[in-house]
A and B are shown apart, each in its own frame.
Chain A
Amino acid sequence: MKLFKAFGLGLLASALAIGGAAAQGKTVKIATEGAYAPWNFTGAGGKLEGFEIDLANDLCARMKVKCEIVAQDWDGIIPALNAKKYDAIMAGMNITDKRLEVIDFSRPYASGLHGFATMKGSAIAKLAGLGQRANLDKDAAGAQTMIDEWKTLLKGKTVGVQGSTVNSAFLEKYLKDVITIREYKTTEQHDLDLAAGRVDAIFAAHSSLKATLDQPEFKNMMITGGGMSGGVLGRGVAVGLRKGETELRGQFDAAIQDAIKDGTIQKLTQKWFTVDMSPQS
Chain B
Amino acid sequence: MDFEFMQDTFLRLLSGVPLTLNLAFTSVAFGAVFAMLLALMRMSGVKVLDWFARAYVFVFRGSPLLVQIFLIYYGLGQFRPTLQEWGLWTFFREPYWCAILALTLNTAAYASEIIRGGLQSVPHQQVEAARACGMSGFLLFRRIVFPIAVRQALPAYGSELILMVKATSLASIITMMEVTGIAAKLISQTFRAVEVFVVAGVIYLILNFTITRIIMAIEWWLSPHLRRPPAVKPALEAVHV
Contacts and interface: CB of A to CB of B under 8 A. Distances in A.
Give the interface size class of chain B: 10 to 19
B142 interface: no
Contacts of B191: 78-79, 82, 102
B175 interface: yes
Contacts of A197: 80, 93
Contact of B175 (A75, A76, A183, A195): A183
B188 A196 contact: no
B51 interface: no
A196 B80 contact: yes
Contact of A196 (B78, B189, B192): B78
A198 interface: yes
Tell me the interface secondary structure of chain A in the complex.
helix
B184 interface: yes
A76 B77 contact: no
Interface in A28-80: 75-76, 78-79
Contacts of B184: 75, 163
B3 to A, nearest CB: 20
Interface in B69-119: 74, 77-78, 80, 93, 95
Interface residues of A, number: 20
Tell me the interface secondary structure of chain B in the complex.
helix
A245 to B, nearest CB: 17
B185 interface: yes
Contacts of B49: none
A76 B193 contact: yes
B189 A164 contact: yes
B188 A184 contact: no
A192 interface: yes
B9 to A, nearest CB: 15
Interface of B: 74, 77-78, 80, 93, 95, 173, 175, 184-185, 187-189, 191-193
Interface of A: 75-76, 78-79, 82, 98, 102, 163-164, 182-185, 189, 192-193, 195-198
12 contacts: A76-B187, A76-B193, A79-B191, A79-B192, A98-B189, A163-B184, A164-B187, A164-B189, A183-B175, A192-B77, A193-B74, A198-B93
